[in-house]
Amino acid sequence: MAWDASFKNFLKNYLDTEVITELDVPTANLRLDFLMRNNGNLPSPFKYARSTILGEFKSERDKFSMSHFFQGVAKGYLHLSTVGRGDTLSLMFILGGGIPVPSDLVNECRQVERGVYVMFRDFQVILVELDKIEYDQSNEFLGIFASSITRRKVIAKALRNKERFIISYSYFLYKDEVVEVAKAENIEIDPRSLSIRAAVESIGIDRIIEEVGLPRVIEEVGISKVVMEIGVEKLLDGLTPEQMQKLKKSIENRNREAKES
């Protein structure tokens, strides 16, 4: 899902630590969204975690109930069985899109700051509500994955400061909202100028082709990348004869320029 992929790429871009995504749990057919290290200089809410963070992210299209919580905890125990030390392990649930922590869990937790709840089993468990946490410059990128009222503030600031990474990803996740915020801020945006290359890596090439068209994606990321992602057959099916001819000429020109240089 686009939100999941984008969230992980935001972690990689904004946090000064190693982030591993789609972590397979050994000996089980289970997968965690991400694993990261707390090296001591992470912003809230990650700063409350132990040295190893196992992460589960829930977007606005997901749900989070007690059942989902216990499923996540089961993954934590399975990982714990492979490493043997719970004193270095934190399981973190990051709830976006206005998803609340179930009240039964809130009663079992200690609130370490607004929107951040901690409890202990054989390892630490942290629950984070992105709509409630305190934001500053170090963690405001997380607001993109909160509910509309919170993320619009982040989008507006990104538009004013021309933060292309946030603008590009936001456009593909919340196209209408970005357009509305830009209009309210009296800022002109050209969707074609947004970072297609970055969005392809996060959201997937099929979604970007739907947004801007196959010829534009080829222009931005190169035909080799497109063929690798969608295959020759789908590439040929997606182009009109006129576009095929234009693409052929473009490839011939690039090959000629390469030889001349």
Helix (H) or strand (E) holding 155: helix 148-161
Distance CA 203, CA 98 (A): 22
pTM comes to 0.75
How high is the pLDDT of residue 53? Answer: 93
Cβ density class 37-76: b for 16+ within 10 Å, e for less: bbeeebbbbbebbbebbbbbbbbbebebeeebbeebbebb
How high is the pLDDT of residue 109? Answer: 94
How high is the pLDDT of residue 172? Answer: 76
Distance CA 135, CA 208 (A): 30
- Taking the chain (261 residues) in runs of 10, the rounded mean pLDDT of each run is 71 88 61 86 96 91 92 85 78 95 93 96 94 95 94 95 85 88 90 65 70 76 79 78 76 74 65
How high is the pLDDT of residue 1? Answer: 44
Contact 52, 88 (CB under 8 A): yes
How high is the pLDDT of residue 67? Answer: 93
Matching CATH number, 2-129, of 3.30.1300, 3.30.2420, 3.40.109, 3.40.1350: 3.40.1350
Contact 145, 138 (CB under 8 A): no
Cis-peptide, bond into residue 45, ω within 30° of zero = yes
Place of tokens 């089993």: 121
**Domain definitions of the chain by residue range:** 2-129, 147-194, 211-261
Token code pair at residue 138 = 């170090």
Contact 90, 123 (CB under 8 A): yes
Q: Closest Cα to residue 44, out of 125, 121, 101, 112? A: 112
**What is the DSSP-derived secondary structure letter of residue 144?**
G
HEC per residue, 62-120: CCCCHHHHHHHHHHHHHHHHHHCCCCCEEEEEEECCCCCCCHHHHCCCEEEECCEEEEE
